[in-house]
Amino acid sequence: MRRWDRRRFLGAAAAGATVPWLASACGGDDSRGDEKGATSGAVADGRAPTRLAYATGDSRFGDLWLPSGSGPHPVVVLIHGGFWRAQYDLTLMADLAADVVARGWAAWNIEYRRVGEEGGGWPGTFVDVAAAVDRLSVIAEEAATPLDVERVVVAGHSAGGHLAVWSAVRAGLPADAPGAEPVVRPAAIVSQAGVVDLRRGAADGLGGGATVELMGATPGDEPERYDLGSPIERVPTGVPTRCVHGRQDDLVPIDQSERYVAAASDAGDRAVLAPFDGDHFAVLDPTHESWTDTVAWLRPLLEP
């Protein structure tokens, strides 16, 4: 398991500072590569990931990890966190991606425009996540190993947990809303310590005001943005959702997941709260019980 330096993360989250230690801690640098350039890193029981663009722009790409075998393979979309800020990137989810592909599933570890770079925040961040998920329909036709776009799970950590759950609400959005009319609809969602109630996140000042930075306004100033972008406002989704959250998480409190699961369940969704004893970063360890239990929950959904 990687040893995350919480004090440096907390300082960066509050101040929006550059975090040079993060790249080395994640085993990579901040290079973006070209549209189809192979990324580094061998994968047990699979292939090295390939970097693919899903739209035009420096941060609009993902790393596709394919398992061995003929397929078609279910796909786990991975969305990293970091309070939606530009200094954090998809290398945060590399360990989980390697674990996914070793289990015989494909992984699509995506990047997106974040706060602090041009186009990041509302609505660009949301548009990018929608485009990345929908791009799987094209990748499935082009990939050397077939992908099963009927068996797609979207999983994310922290801010990525918010975006993962939001990907499930897209089918219910107004036609003119960012991300509406999805091409690929998730079969299941996993939120790992997700910020799934943006209004509450803004009120609590999570990440030193990260929620307001993402949305570009307070809930009072732009209530419609929060109505469209906050997952708790859009239940039911009709998509099975597992909210994994550490009881000792002091970056994104567990009541974020508790409130969402209660609201989704009341609305008729199949929503599960999976609490554990641990902090905000434990879920990034593929050997941790929070992940292995999640894999057990996903298996019947991905391997009928």
Give dist(CA 230, CA 217) in Å, integer.
Answer: 13
Within-domain flag for 189: yes
Could you read off the pLDDT tens digit of each residue along the chain, which spans 304 residues? 344 444 434 444 443 333 322 332 333 333 333 333 333 344 545 568 999 999 999 999 999 999 988 889 999 999 999 999 999 999 999 999 999 999 999 999 999 999 999 999 999 999 999 999 999 999 998 877 799 999 999 999 999 999 999 999 999 999 999 999 999 999 999 999 999 999 999 999 999 999 999 999 999 999 999 999 999 999 999 999 999 999 999 999 999 999 999 999 999 999 999 999 999 999 999 999 999 999 999 999 998 6
Within-domain flag for 1: no
Domains contained in the chain, number: 1
Within-domain flag for 24: yes
Cα angle 192-85-274, degrees, rounded to a multiple of 5: 5
Structure tokens at 83: 């309070």
Containing structural domain, residue 235: 6-302
Give dist(CA 58, CA 56) in Å, integer.
Answer: 7
* Strand pairing category for 106-110 and 61-65: antiparallel
- For position 254, which CATH number holds? 3.40.50.1820
Within-domain flag for 71: yes
Within-domain flag for 98: yes
Within-domain flag for 172: yes
Structure tokens at 161: 């947990």
Identity at 79, one-letter amino acid code: I
Within-domain flag for 296: yes
